[in-house]
Chain A
Amino acid sequence: MIRVEDLHRHFGGFRAVDGASLSIETGSITGLIGPNGAGKSTLFNVVAGVLPPTSGRVFMDDEEITGLPPHELFHRGLLRTFQLAHEFASMTVRENLMMVPGQQTGETIWSTWLRRGQIEREELELRKKADEVLEFLTIRHLAHERAGNLSGGQKKLLELGRTMMVDAKVVFLDEVGAGVNRTLLGTIGDAIVRLNKERGYTFCVIEHDMDFIAKLCDPVIVMAEGKVLATGASDEIMQNEAVIEAYLGTGLKNQVKAGTG
């Protein structure tokens, strides 16, 4: 689905992404992990067209998409969420969702004057869909709230909700879990699996919660210092010495304690 070839992205002299090559198979839920500052978000931003690469190429279904603007990638079915939530603050939660689908009739200005009926009908559809998504994310009661007033976690949910409004091919999730309640995160995980199974979405997930990664992702790609450090099934990765040293650490003691406690 997505192939990244020898990608570089430098900031001044600093090499945030330093020759990363990886591929995300169609239909997979690929995990992307790595220490803070490994270049994961930067990689995402390059793939999603937010940042131009310093060098290297990105392919989607064997078509080169390097440097395409984000809105074009969206129409090709590539969606992403942001690590720091990017909600439309002055709009209501529901509007945040309703604005997502492309090719809405009412988005061309002429039709807003000439094709009112059609727009009405589409809007009804959209509203229904948005409410379903809100229901799922347990924030239906906030439909009329300004998105800027949401709590940190709720904003992350909204981020995720937007990707559920359209039929995507591949979805990049940048730490959807950070700040989200673990019970809800479980539900989100289930939803990801369902979207993957039922609708055939491909996912690429950045996450620091190893439980979540382990439950969901296969394969898992580990990045460190801008390069790919290892790739493999999650249990393999968890045992990988280099990964443990760079990322997981040996001190899983808290987690163990909690797990048995």
Chain B
Amino acid sequence: MSTNRQAAAASRWRIPVLFAILAVLFILEGTVRNGMFSGSWNTSLAILNMGLISAITALGVNMQWGYAGLFNVGVVGFFALGGLAPVLISTAPVEGAWQAGGPRMLIALATAVGTLALASLLWRHMPRGKLRGLALTVLLIAGFVLYRGLFDPAVTAIESNNPARHGNIGGLGLPVLLSWLAGGIFAAAAAWAVGKVALGLRSDYLAIATLGIGEIIIAVLKNEDWLARGVKNITAIPRPVPFEIQLQRNPEFMEFANSWGMAASTASGIWVKLCYMLLFLVVLLLLILLAELALKSPWGRMMRAIRDNETAAEAMGKDVTARHLQVFILGSAVIGIAGAMMITLDGLMAPVGYNPLRYTFLIWVMVIVGGSGNNWGAALGGVLIWFLWIKAEVWGPELIAFLTAPLPASSFKSGLLEGAAHMRFIAMGLVLLLVLRFAPRGLVPER
């Protein structure tokens, strides 16, 4: 018992201390210039901003894994779907696109959804047997033919509308912050559909299903040009913050920058990044607050019970399926929000970039290193791992230069130095293994 209390006392300080260390890393990155750090606030803040987005993503994954034990390996898919929101909600409408095929497209999509809904009704309400199978097949085939009949011409029409520049359906021109919410909703809707189908699967089997769904979502984003130009990318997505150039042309800001003794470009860069940082921080803290409130209450207890033993939780009256679906949707929504935020930050939607290594596994690393089941841990892991991932680009080659320094010049040494870029992976691997070694349950363990 006494050991318990000691552990509790230790963990009370653990979180602030770790966050303080993290803050120091970023301050060093912003101020000190040597082989390890760049000494640029712009760099430091840029890393931090993406780190905050990663932290939110990690938070979403943590909800699914840490609270409920759902093994979602399709993170990249939900993240990408969230990224679709700024494109569809906030970019300017594309002239002629809607007239070309908008309504037809909506009807086609409605047909598809309707067919599926009808099919599931049929499945539930018809008695078992051959007839049911037959009816279902006929319905699905008819629905598919009808859908393709409506869908294909609509796609052709939209995509042939100025394909070099547009060829997509365009956005609604709404404020970009709204699209963050929409990103969450997109991802949540997909999660609902996926969850309905796949949540019956356990652990690694769920993993492969979600992995597949992630790949499918990415494939759709890449190949359905009418949606967001596919691999041809959408650029110039609106921003919620001023452009650096605008600031540089603003005399007041210039004066302000001068009073700090900073060059215009540096100051404007920092300013913009600080604006983003504030926005991201607000979102992150709000989400953590909500998550903590939920987790530290009977809801969270119920989730842990379900994670520990589904059969028993079910026998104790908890609707495991519904809860799984709920938390899967919530977590995905959070991932979607993060996805929308990243696209806003990048100002670019490039589906080719969505690769699972970066947007699924790296996020998983963040969650586990941070400490799964713990919101602060996940956030910490998110920022920290992102920092290391970026710094590994510099540290890797430094490391190998250091290691090979004593070697005499030879082709072996130059070969090693040439491969220095790959030290990025080695450095990342080492960091991961070291953290896991010294904090096997994560930096901030669940309890």
Contacts and interface: CB of A to CB of B under 8 A. Distances in A.
B334 to A, nearest CB: 13
A50 interface: yes
Contacts of B311: 50, 70, 82, 86
B318 interface: yes
B1 A106 contact: no
A50 B294 contact: no
Contacts of B320: 71
Given A86-B309, A88-B308, A91-B308, A162 B298 contact: no
B131 interface: no
B374 to A, nearest CB: 13
A112 B304 contact: no
Contact of A112 (B299, B308, B309, B317): B299
B371 to A, nearest CB: 14
A112 B297 contact: yes
Contact of A99 (B294, B302, B321, B330): B302
Interface string B270-309: 0000000000000000000010011001111110110111
Contact of A82 (B298, B301, B312): B312
Nearest to A96: B305
Contacts of A69: 314, 319, 321
Contacts of A131: none
A113 B290 contact: yes
B301 to A, nearest CB: 5
A112 B316 contact: no
B298 A104 contact: yes
A70 B314 contact: yes
B405 interface: no
Contact of A90 (B304, B315, B316, B319): B304
B304 A100 contact: no
A144 B298 contact: no
Interface string A86-125: 1111110001101110101111110011001001001100
Nearest to A120: B297
Interface centre among A75, A79, A99 (most CB of B within 10 A): A99
Given A104-B298, A144-B4, A90 B308 contact: yes
B305 A91 contact: yes
Given A74-B317, A100-B317, A108 B299 contact: yes
B43 interface: no
Grouping DSSP codes into helix (H, G, I), strand (E, B) and loop, the B interface class, with mixed when no group exceeds half, is helix
Given A69-B314, A71-B320, A90-B304, A99 B298 contact: yes
B298 A123 contact: yes
Contacts of B304: 88, 90-91, 95
B308 A89 contact: yes
A80 interface: yes
A2 interface: no
Given A89-B308, A113-B293, A144-B1, A162 B301 contact: no
A87 B297 contact: no
B404 interface: no
Interface string B1-36: 100100000000000000000000000000000000
B248 interface: no
Contacts of B319: 69, 71
A104 B300 CA distance: 12
A24 B308 CA distance: 32
A80 B311 CA distance: 11
Contact of A70 (B297, B300, B315): B315
Contacts of A113: 290, 293-294
Nearest to B300: A112
A107 B320 CA distance: 13
A100 B1 CA distance: 25
A150 to B, nearest CB: 13
B326 interface: yes
A74 B317 CA distance: 5
A133 interface: no
Given A95-B301, A119-B298, A123-B298, A162 B308 contact: no
A58 interface: no
Interface in B314-359: 314-321, 326, 330
Contacts of A123: 298
A119 B297 contact: yes
B93 to A, nearest CB: 36
Nearest to B289: A113
B317 A87 contact: no
Nearest to B290: A113
A48 B4 CA distance: 38
Contacts of B297: 106, 112, 119
A50, A90, A144 — most chain B CB neighbours (10 Å): A90
Contacts of B300: 112
B315 A50 contact: yes
A109 B317 contact: no
A148 to B, nearest CB: 8
Given A48-B315, A50-B315, A112-B294, A99 B309 contact: no
A89 B309 contact: yes
Contact of B309 (A48, A87, A95, A100): A87
Interface string B413-429: 00000000000000000
22 contacts: A48-B315, A50-B311, A69-B314, A70-B311, A70-B317, A71-B317, A74-B315, A74-B317, A79-B315, A86-B315, A87-B308, A91-B308, A99-B305, A99-B313, A102-B317, A106-B297, A108-B299, A113-B290, A119-B298, A122-B298, A144-B1, A144-B4
Given A48-B315, A109-B299, A113-B290, 18 more contacts: A50-B315, A69-B314, A70-B314, A71-B317, A71-B319, A74-B317, A82-B312, A89-B309, A95-B305, A99-B298, A99-B316, A99-B318, A106-B299, A109-B330, A112-B298, A113-B294, A116-B293, A123-B298
